[in-house]
Structure 1
Amino acid sequence: MNALDFLTDRAAKLQPRIAVVLGSGWAGLTEHISNPVQIPYVELNGFPQPSVDGHGGTLWLGHIGSQPVAVMSGRSHGYETGAVDGMVWPLQVLKALGCHTLVQTNAAGSLRADMPPQSLMLITDHLNLAQRSPLEALPGNDRFVSMVNAYDQELNRLAALIALAQGTTLFEGVYAWFLGPQFETPAEIRMAQLLGADAVGMSTVPETILARHLGLRVLALSFITNLGAGLSNEQLSHAHTLSQAQQGSAQASCLLADIIAALP
């Protein structure tokens, strides 16, 4: 049985409407899922097998508030295999199950002095600095998808209002995607600043491209774990990223749960 048939059977009564991809620092969201059903990726043909600490490998089905959700704890990164289409099948499956919106999260480096570690940023647009696309191998003319309003303005306004009501500072900015896995050089950070980026990271953009190709609305948030290379004296490492992300996970996940529960 393929993943779609398997999940159609398991999710028949749930009918998820919101798909969520959890990045580093956001695992606490799963604590907000009521009556969860957990399905390891190993049971789902075509789902990624994460090879990075901080990324689980489980699909969670349940509700956040009254909202039926399908939450991917762990994603495929381009730097793991060199391919950037590792999320094609999972997102196609979630769309087929009935999801109409994709909520994305990640850990990112800040390029702004006023947006320090432990900040949260709402992504308003992105820079595909890797210039790679998960649509490269797909057939047909529908590959040429518009990326205008890639991050849904209505959903962004809703997220900002919920953060304001909670008294949580939610920055807004442009996210720049570098393929990785190495961190950026100080020169690359300066370049990204000149191009208008507010944060940098190694994920999210391929999924946004896929989501827009599938007709899904997209909302995305970054948890800021560090300042970009050359902007501070801290030594960047994956362990440092995970440590910073874990410190702020509870607050970030509470905000995210409230936003998801309020989505149309």
Structure 2
Amino acid sequence: MLLKEAREATEFLQNQTGSFVPDTGVVLGTGLGRLLDDIDIYHSISYEDIPHFPVSTVESHSGKLIFGVLNGHKLVVMQGRFHYYEGYTMQQVTFPVRVMKLLGIRRLFISNAAGGLSPDYNISDIMIINDHINLQPENPLTGPNEDEFGVRFPDMSDPYDRTMIDKGLEIAAKYSIRAHEGVYVAVPGPNLETRAEYKYLRTIGADAVGMSTVPENIVARHMGLPVFALSVITDLCTPEKIRKVTVEEVIKAAMGAEPGMKKIMEELISLQTD
């Protein structure tokens, strides 16, 4: 059923976009919306018009699939993602990644907003993800395996592409962008974590915590897509820095990091050659 629905959504989008075949998929989280400013947009399609697509319910997530060109690369961009805490299954959360693969992408870029667990992080810092810990209660690969997508037991020893990580860090250094690499832990949400939970997450090896990205990564790796992902640190979760935060403050912190995130993503996409 999943493959059938993904093919139906893909066919609809191909009918809408004609000969446009994207080579790169992008999932825009909080703080990277202005990447679209530099994309030559060919098509913009609302999620609600696409067969079997969920509809984003989160503030700051627009809910459109954008097809356009950036520095010679054809992109399909999710302007707004889906989350488990919205009430969707993990198969629904990751459905667009399946569709982007069928549309032709050869790599996936992901962004998110996250809480900083490492004491070295400051608000509006960028963390390039080199590994993750999955604490979400459902896996997007649960259920019958679609062999056309990938193997039953995909290897996850290299979830994020090392070559792109290194190049992303080089780009950050070149432009004096404050960036780290680290481990991202995904939790269900939607509430933020308690002090004891922050301590636990740091103890098990996480540098930043959020409520997304890992499901998309698992599905992308299941289909053999290399992944580059980064987080903008929107609040600090070390014991001496924890304070109450609002959605508005999270968005403001993400916007502070947006120019650096945009520079890293744009230049890294431009360097892709395969």
Tell me the TM-score normalised to structure 2 length. Answer: 0.90
Judge which range, 76-85 or 48-57, deviates more. 76-85
**1:87 is matched by which residue type in structure 2?**
V
For residues 203 and 54 of structure 1, what CA distance do their matches in structure 2 show?
15
Equivalent position SS for 1:257: helix
Partner of 1:78: 84
| Matched positions, count | 264
Separation in structure 2 between the aligned mates of residue 233 and residue 131 of structure 1, nearest angstrom = 26
Equivalence for 1:174: 183
Q: Could you list the runs of 5+ residues in structure 2 that have no partner in the other structure?
A: 1-6
1:112 corresponds in structure 2 to 118
Indicate the residue corresponding to 1:259 in structure 2: 268
- Tell me the residue number matched to 2:3: none
Shift in Å at residue 131 of structure 1? 4.5
Q: Which moved more, 1:160-169 or 1:196-205?
A: 160-169
The counterpart of 2:62, out of the listed 49, 56, 65, is 56
| Higher alpha-carbon deviation: 156-165 or 208-217 | 156-165
What is the alpha-carbon root mean square deviation over aligned residues? 1.8
Distance 1:167 1:75 in 2: 29
Q: Is the deviation greater in 240-249 or in 186-195? A: 240-249
How far apart are the structure 1 equivalents of 2:77 and 2:244? 32
Per-residue Cα deviation, 1:115-149 (whole angstroms, up to 9, x for no partner): 10110110000000224211112336823211110
Between 247-256 and 171-180, report the one with greater CA deviation.
247-256
1:137 to 137, 143, 165: 143
In 1, Cα distance between equivalents of 2:94 and 2:235: 30
Residue correspondence of structure 1 range 220-231 to structure 2 within 5 A: 220-228=229-237, 230-231=239-240
Q: Note if 1:217 corresponds to 2:217.
A: no
Aligned to 2:217: 208
Consecutive aligned runs of 4 or more in structure 1 exceeding 6 Å deviation = none
Q: 1:123 aligns with which of 108, 118, 129?
A: 129
Greater Cα shift, 9-18 or 49-58 = 9-18
Are the aligned partners of 1:129 and 1:176 in contact in 2 as well (CA < 8 Å)? yes
- SS of residue in 2 equivalent to 1:86: helix
Instruction: State whether structure 2 residue 39 is matched by structure 1 residue 30.
Output: no
Map of 1:100 onto structure 2: 106
Say if 1:109 and 1:200, in contact at 8 Å, map to a contact too. yes
2:257 counterpart of 1:248: yes
Residue pair 1:46, 1:90 contacting (<8 A) in 2 also:
no
Deviation at 1:163, TM superposition (A): 1.8
Cα shift readout 1:77-113 (whole Å, capped 9, x = no counterpart): 0000052222333112111111011100000010122
The more displaced of 251-260 and 168-177 is: 251-260
CA deviations 1:47-100 (Å, max 9, x no partner) are 221111011101111111111110001111000005222233311211111101
**Structure 1 pair 145–231 and aligned structure 2 pair: CA distance change class (3 A):** farther
Q: Secondary structure at the match of 1:248?
A: helix
Question: SS where residue 48 of structure 2 aligns?
Answer: helix
Cα distance, 1:229 vs structure 2 = 6.5
Q: Kindly indicate whether the alpha-carbon contact (under 8 Å) linking 2:27 and 2:81 is maintained by their aligned counterparts in 1.
A: yes
Amino acid in structure 2 at the alignment position of 1:13: S
Cα deviation for residue 231 of structure 1 reads 4.1
- Cα deviation for residue 159 of structure 1 reads 1.4
- Identity percentage over the alignment? 34
Alpha-carbon shift at residue 249 of structure 1 (Å): 2.1
Query: SS in structure 2 opposite 1:87?
Result: helix
How far is the alpha carbon of 1:28 from its aligned partner? 0.9
For residues 254 and 37 of structure 1, the distance between their equivalents in structure 2, rounded to whole angstroms, comes to 23
AA in 2 matched with 1:52: V
Query: Structure 1: where are the runs of 5+ without partners?
Result: none
